[in-house]
Structure 1
């Protein structure tokens, strides 16, 4: 209303001036004055309307993608890869030349290094849309991110040592930290690591969290609580499982024990201790062989074995007797185990020297003493 009243007053004033100027001023001067007055009036009206100039500027800010890599002790294990088809497919995708055998030589962390290669990191970055941060974790998340752009010859040397030796003079590390992924802790606290990551990057745009691990959370924050926290912040969490369902699979002969010296015609024993992992309730054969004075190996005994719990020692005893003095060698071998991590530890050895029962001893003393009667 005030604006309308002001406009009416201004119009009335201009009309009065126009009538007065029409009688006293020339037409050209009247036109100039009218132009100035209209300009001033327009400026006044513009000020009263308070115009606002809005400038819009768009800026693209890349989001952050967090990659949490499990670095507990179990990630340093090697899997047996019993499924040959799955092993071959995995080896082809990761670029491992030796296929199933090459996979068995690599630890789970070696496979993570193969997975998170520069090509994969670039794909996760999405042409600059995301910034990828890789953090290790065990019982907690490490605050400092690690670089995944490492010299792949370090990983390849585990699968093909001969090729690594041939290419070593030309190999150049891509960073000053050629082996960033090593086992650093005893437990796996996925919930605690995820919560630390969300707090560390609070206030920053998060595209999501990728968790690379070989198993369940064994300590720290409950997963359901932390998952709810991530859901409340609209942060997607994706997992990548490393390893096989069967896990590490290996049986070994930990020791072959026999008395270093035994008498002829005595009944003696050879004790064989067996240990296994990931092969509970599986059956195999235990063969014990003996040879005399470097001669041919002869079967001394055979035992059917049902493998026990992971890490449990199983003891087997074999009796033998020898009629003549000689040097005996024993060889224990585990048979029919199927695919496993290594066959080098399926064999154990021991030695025994067989002597006569009656020994002749010359005892020399400077003088007699009462203890001689006990000899």
Structure 2
């Protein structure tokens, strides 16, 4: 019945569609009141027209004439009602299968295949072994050489070109296959689709199944992307095809994920949408690789210092073996150590060397590459080091000669790297009047006097002895001039009496007035301080000598007996805590630091560090305060002219990153420069070649502060300076993006987790032949509606003409006008 209705009305539907329901209706805008009046008028006209028919007409003929006239009028009314026949149809379609192909740089890795099962997998991918018989098949030894170092992209191409697997044609028979490549977020690119050729009515034999040759994009697969955002790419592909009936997502990848949202989080969205994710894992799970992740070293060191460098080394698949870690300075070996490799993971290795020459150097750590490594190019790290022969100018301000003051002043005066001036507020004024006295009579009153120092240390100082203008100068000394400030807490004044002062803004901790000191009882219980994770990794707190354990040394450190009750500010780095006392921000801070503007601030929350001398004398105490002074003064010793301050937002960049530069320029007397624009210069470190200019514009409302940015150039060592001050330079390093090479193992765990969460499956070469039959191929039913406007069809007008004609013939037959 449905077919002849479609034929009579001339309607066409999509092939495969079935009409499941028909519903007649009229136009929604019909005024039924007028239609009823119109119908009544027509009935009246018909009644009057045929009331006076001749009596000799039979009743049957009379009824036929009235009926034909009524039908004609009804058809005319139908033009006003505009009747529509609504057809509800359903059609079965192929579901869509999204295929995501990893095109990140980790796919270029040529995995050195040593394990027999990894060689077997490569052989299955190449079509040298039957994909249905697993990993127990014999393999010709003569063919293993070409399999040992196939890149992951080549393995993937081989799988997709494997005639035994025939994956893409087989999937295309069951699904609408939509291929993509992906890398970082926003780099999802749809590839050309291969479409099945259907038979035509004129040529039933014209149908042709797809073959491997119909997927030319396989041969163009590359790996240009510098990172992998697996979670973001899954979400983007899903959003592009949202609303379509999806059979699932097939991801061909090594499982690397180093950017964007976690795939496990995105998997929850896919599961809720009923979209399973299937993975084919490319690569090997336990590659042998040595990766030097980074090197922690100060940018500046002092002549004849013993410099501590920490090298972060990650190893994979090398448990029980050793490597030789070598540290060089301008190519000359200054330290080396044989390091054992344990379980897969990262370890920090300390190396020490003595600086014997003043100058700028390339500090490089490396381990010789092994023949069986996955990536021999990630075995080194380097950075610039400046060695200076200058003194740190320290201003030490203390209220009274308490114990910590006595020992700390002695340490500072004995340190050959330090030139210290002391202001003892409750001391005899005459001590400052002696010739070459290390004491001052008063706190510096002008910026010029204050800014001559590199580090200012406050003990338990009464803030009433320091004016507000002097505090503001100190704040500017740190924030704008790049100076360093250290506060050592005390029981009388510091830090509680500094609430609501410019110095309180400097500190990395928060406190309330009158909560420290007098309100705090004397402690007689020992406090064994504990380094935080950040503290354990900070060279400033590494007091261990050669062959000693820093953790063991701090665990054996004599206890202290008082800590000021404070909480860490958001963003502050807590280095040391009292593990027995809690605050709203965690354990009670004993030592915390943060960057304040261009400078550094360190807070020491106890006046008991002198107790660390017990049984060992100055061994640890001297090293601790020496390393504190050196760390805090580094910012000022990167350049020579203290009136020029340059700050980069980082020291290490990847190619293409934005490098942001702040510069502060002072005139004589340390007044801000009135220039509007400064010219910055980027040069290659060492030879100064390849100069490029960077304009720095003054920051609105902040005279003397300038800002500029530029794109990190090609990989290498660089320096930035101002044309107005060529001797003030900042070193920075640009490297190729190493996100992809930081983890070379195939991440099977991640792929298995996402597949399980979404009710998909993870495949390797040995079970890849089950992929096509694993993905459910139940067709999707798509509903649609078709509205046939009956009143506008030729059939409707033919029907009107037919009724009028029949009535005319019948009237003529009855001898009527």
With normalisation by structure 1, the TM-score equals 0.49
